[in-house]
Structures are given as C-alpha cells and as structure tokens.
C-alpha cells in the first residue's frame, strides 16, 4: 500500500472521562473517584511484595473495580508512587519484573475494553483520602447483593434511602452507615444512630447481628425496613422475624454468586448450597396496626398445607396458626 493512500493525522486517545486516585499501604489499598470508592486488605502473599508493586497492584484493582462499566475512553490515574507511574506510561518496566508483570496485566485489561490509561503524580500530602482508605481495616462482613437482585428488591419494596450496614467497598445505597471509620459514610455504627429519619432503610447486617437489628428496630415506632438475612427457621431470631413481618418475605435466588465480597469472591455457604437468603419487610412490635392488617389478610387466605422446607409449596412459617407464604424474586 502506498503511503499517500493511508489516512494521516495525529493519533490521539479519547478524552478522559474518569479520574481515579489511588494509594497503597502495607495493610491494604484504597482508591476513589467521582463514582465512589473501593479498597481492601492485602493477603499474606501480597504483603511479601515491595511497596512499589503494591502501589501498582492497587491501581490495577482500583481501575478494575471503579471503571468496570467503562469502555472506549481514557482514564486518568493519580498516584503518589514515582515507580508505578512510569511503569504505566511506558507500558511496562525494564527495571522490575513484578512491576512489568502488573503493568502488562493492567494494559491487557484496558486494551480489551479500548481504554487508554495515563498516570500522573500526586504528592503524598495531597493524597490523604486514598491514603486513609488504604489504611482502613474493614470487617469480615463485606458482602453485597448482586446489583440486578438489589434492583428487583427496590422494585418490590421501593427505593431505599440508606444502607444501614455497609462500607465504602460494598454499599448498595449512596447514603450509608459503616461499621468502621469510613470517610464516605454518613456515620459510624448504625446502632449508635436513629433510623426513623428515613422511611425506607435497607439492612444487610452480619448474620450474627440479625437478632440485635430486630431489637434496635423496636426503638423506632414509625420505622419500616427491608432486612436481608439467612432463611434459618431453627434459629432463635426466626420467631421474632415472623412477629415483625408486614409483607410476604421474598426468597432470593440461590445463585452461588448472589452475594460477593469486596474481592468478588462468593460466600462459601452459597457455593456449597447450604445457605438461602430472604428479604423481609419489617416493622417494630409497637406498630400494631400494620402487623395486624397484614396477618388478618393472610388469615382470610389461610391455607391448610404447611411445610418446613422453604420453596416446595411456598410457605415459610406459621404465626398464630396462620401460614406465611414466601414469594420468589
């Protein structure tokens, strides 16, 4: 082909549509952008890496998490690492095998989505937020429901206004309470705050805190919420769920990846098919009218059959000899 037959002009990447600021510590990594924040702790193998490699791995994880829905664009990465920055801009490193390997991973991810990356330096003193996120020790309950399942729950129960148990790595609602110190959270510890300023809270607490959540709900006579918890009829808290129920509970899909932690790993009990989750619409015990109305409606439609195995014929429990039907999402 003759050169004069080839289109000429400057080769320019697309305009930047997202800027991500990252940082790493020996404890973990953190990143933020206008869309939100992400972060997590390093595992034992990660902690063996040099801090420069950890800085670059933080960038890889941050871009994969925060830009997962982006394509055909440019992303600006801001880092305080003077080793990670040139490794990205030079498409690798001739001086460090780990940096070269991580850079190639990063660019492979970007090329697959037609994304151009450009790294720039930010002084450490100006990188306070990402630094704080990288040093935040998250609790073990970092699971969140898959987005399409959460969207269907909102269709059933209305738009949720606050996530009562979350952190910057797994929140479902932009306004949330965190269990640990979190620069993006409205406050720390849902049990130290009032819930009744919001008419429709969402709660997915650690399993061991379900009973405490029910007790705390009783402090707010006008509050209703949606609670995600295991369907464990033999647990002591199960009768308390029935007592506060104001709508038919919803059985969530049994997919192994229904809930994922901040690294994208599913819950082991779901993988082994030993866990079913349900969404309960609850009101405090003092909210007699709503609870009575709901159970009277069920009484009028009472069925003769009952099963203790959820899903076979659609019943999950009995309250005052009235069977409670469970619906399927």
- Cα(178)–Cα(192) distance, rounded to whole angstroms? 11
- Cα(221)–Cα(279) distance, rounded to whole angstroms? 20
Three-state secondary structure call for residue 83: coil
CATH number (3.30.420.10, 3.40.50.10490, 3.30.420.40, 3.40.309.10) of 14-134 reads: 3.30.420.10
Write down the pLDDT at residue 106.
96
Residue ranges, comma separated, of all CATH 3.30.420.10 domains in the chain are 14-134
Whether 240 and 214 have beta carbons less than 8 Å apart is answered as yes
* 35: Cβ contacts below 8 Å, ≥ 6 apart: 18, 66
0.75 surpassed by pTM: no
* 207: Cβ contacts below 8 Å, ≥ 6 apart: 229, 230
Write down the pLDDT at residue 138.
58
Write down the pLDDT at residue 137.
58
Write down the pLDDT at residue 9.
46
Write down the pLDDT at residue 47.
87
- Cα(85)–Cα(315) distance, rounded to whole angstroms? 58
Residue ranges, comma separated, of all CATH 3.40.50 domains in the chain are 144-328
Write down the pLDDT at residue 324.
75
Closest CA to 304 of 324, 326, 323: 323
The residue ranges of the chain whose pLDDT is under 70 are: 1-11, 137-141, 263, 295, 298-313, 315-323
What are 76's two structure tokens?
A: 């600006």
Write down the pLDDT at residue 310.
46
Write down the pLDDT at residue 304.
46
In angstroms, the Cα distances linking 305 to 155, 313, 318, 323 are 30, 8, 11, 8
Write down the pLDDT at residue 124.
87
CATH architecture for the domain at 144-328: 3-Layer(aba) Sandwich (3.40)
Write down the pLDDT at residue 216.
96
- Cα(297)–Cα(128) distance, rounded to whole angstroms? 55
Query: Would you say the C-alpha torsion 178, 23, 259, 144 has a positive or negative sign?
Result: positive
């Amino acid at each position: 082909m003759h050169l004069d037959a080839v289109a000429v002009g400057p080769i320019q990447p697309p305009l930047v549509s997202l800027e991500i600021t990252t940082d790493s510590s020996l404890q973990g990594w953190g990143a933020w952008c206008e869309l939100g924040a992400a972060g997590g702790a390093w595992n034992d193998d990660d902690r063996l890496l040099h801090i420069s490699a950890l800085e670059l791995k933080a960038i890889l994880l941050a871009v994969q998490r925060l830009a997962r829905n982006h394509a055909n664009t440019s992303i600006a990465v801001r880092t305080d690492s003077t080793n990670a920055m040139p490794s990205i801009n030079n498409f690798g490193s001739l001086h460090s095998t780990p940096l070269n390997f991580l850079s190639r991973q990063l660019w492979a991810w970007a090329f697959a989505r037609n994304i151009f990356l450009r790294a720039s330096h930010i002084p450490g003193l100006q990188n306070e937020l990402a630094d704080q996120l990288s040093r935040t020790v998250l609790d073990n309950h970092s699971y969140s429901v898959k987005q399409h399942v959460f969207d269907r729950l909102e269709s059933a129960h209305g738009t949720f206004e606050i996530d009562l148990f979350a952190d910057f790595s797994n929140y479902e609602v932009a306004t949330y309470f965190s269990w640990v110190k979190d620069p993006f959270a409205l406050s720390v510890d849902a049990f130290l705050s009032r819930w009744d300023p919001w008419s429709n809270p969402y709660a997915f607490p650690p399993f061991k805190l379900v009973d405490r959540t029910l007790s705390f709900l009783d402090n707010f006579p006008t509050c209703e919420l949606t609670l995600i918890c295991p369907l464990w009829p033999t647990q002591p808290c199960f009768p308390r769920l029935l007592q506060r129920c104001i709508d038919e509970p919803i059985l969530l899909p049994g997919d192994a990846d229904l809930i994922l932690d901040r690294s994208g790993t599913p819950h082991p009990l779901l993988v082994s098919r030993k866990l079913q989750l349900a969404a309960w619409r609850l009101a405090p015990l003092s909210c007699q009218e709503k609870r009575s109305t709901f159970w009277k409606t069920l009484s009028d439609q009472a069925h003769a059959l009952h099963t203790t195995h959820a899903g076979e014929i659609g019943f999950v429990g009995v309250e005052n000899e009235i069977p409670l039907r469970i619906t399927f999402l």
